[in-house]
Amino acid sequence: NAGVMQNPRHLVRRRGQEARLRCSPMKGHSHVYWYRQLPEEGLKFMVYLQKENIIDESGMPKERFSAEFPKEGPSILRIQQVVRGDSAAYFCASSPPSRESPLHFGNGTRLTVT
Amino acid sequence: QQQVKQSPQSLIVQKGGISIINCAYENTAFDYFPWYQQFPGKGPALLIAIRPDVSEKKEGRFTISFNKSAKQFSLHIMDSQPGDSATYFCAASTQGGSEKLVFGKGTKLTVNP
């Protein structure tokens, strides 16, 4: 049973370019979460999605960041016009519909903005 | 602002010793407290979790102690092993679920052989 799959594992972008991070949840999981981890910091919640719905995006920066979880295909975290401060590890997690189910994290995408 | 404060930042323990990591929180609405273990280059993995209706939960060598009145909880790793060397994060959330976890900054544990 495959876990949460994130790709790419490493992504290098120049300032001003766009970054697209993909996440395929575990089989049977319909809830997806994105977290960001800065060096020497804990994970910070960004957004919580269900299929075709954004449930909570209170942790998303107001500009340049967007997320989607379409009916078919992976969840996408999109960062437009990246800046150096966007360099971080971005983790996706998934869970089944039960609210008491634990999160299962992927191995992350490490974004470096040069 | 919702916050979870974790200490120490790093911890070195000898093999066979007890590792203790502490967390404190402010928001009394938190009602779910998981601990995650993260190895380099990997995502966090759930280790053990507790809800405020119990004061202690044990799974193998890992124990969570929870003090509701002090708004503190801690992770104890008994008989620490080199394979336990990792970064440990405490977290908290409201409404009893895993949505919108608030994480501590992590403790890097090194267990010397």
Kindly report, residue by residue over A41-83, the tens digit of the pLDDT: 889 999 999 999 999 999 999 999 999 999 999 999 999 999 9
Out of A44, A58, A102, name the one closest to residue B46 (CB): A102
- Which of B100, B105, B108 should we substitute to test contact with A (largest number of A Cβ atoms within 10 Å)? B100
The predicted-structure confidence for B59-102, as pLDDT tens digits, reads as follows: 999 999 999 999 999 999 999 999 999 999 999 998 767 778 99
Of the candidates B98, B103, B106, the beta carbon closest to that of A102 is on B98
Q: What is the pLDDT of residue B67?
A: 94
A4 touching B (Cβ < 8 Å): yes
pLDDT tier at A97, thresholds 50, 70, 90: confident
Main-chain phi, psi angles of A81, to 5 degrees: 45, 60
CB contact under 8 A, B99 and A40: no
Q: What percent of chain A has pLDDT over 70?
A: 98
CA A37 to chain centre: 11
B44–A43 CB contact, under 8 Å: yes
Asked if the Cβ–Cβ distance from B106 to A42 is below 8 Å, we say yes
What average pLDDT does the segment B19-47 reach? 94
What percentage of chain B carries pLDDT values higher than 90?
86
Residues A19-34, mean pLDDT to the nearest whole number: 95
pLDDT band with cut points at 50, 70 and 90 for residue A2: confident
User: Do B52 and B68 form a contact (C-beta atoms < 8 A)?
Assistant: yes
Structure-token pair, residue B30:
């938190």
CA–CA dist B109, B113 (Å, integer)? 13
Specify burial of residue A114 (Cβ count, 10 A radius: 0-12, 13-18, 19+).
Answer: exposed
Residue B51, chain A, CB below 8 Å: the answer is no
* Beta-carbon separation of A43 and B89 below 8 A: yes
Q: Is the pLDDT of residue B2 over 70?
A: no
What lies within 8 Å, CB to CB, of A44 at 6+ separation is: A35, A36, A37, A38, A59, B103
Q: In the predicted model, what is the mean pLDDT of residues A78-94?
A: 97
What integer is the mean pLDDT of B42-57? 93
Nearest by CB to B46, from A31, A45, A103: name it.
Answer: A103
Of residues B96, B98, B105, nearest to A103 (C-beta): B98
> A72: which residues sit within 8 A by CB, 6+ positions away?
none
- CA nearest A49 in B: which residue? B99
Residue B70: count other Cβ atoms within 10 Å of its Cβ. 8
At B35 the pLDDT is: 96
**Rounded Cα–Cα distance for residues A52 and B64 (Å):** 37
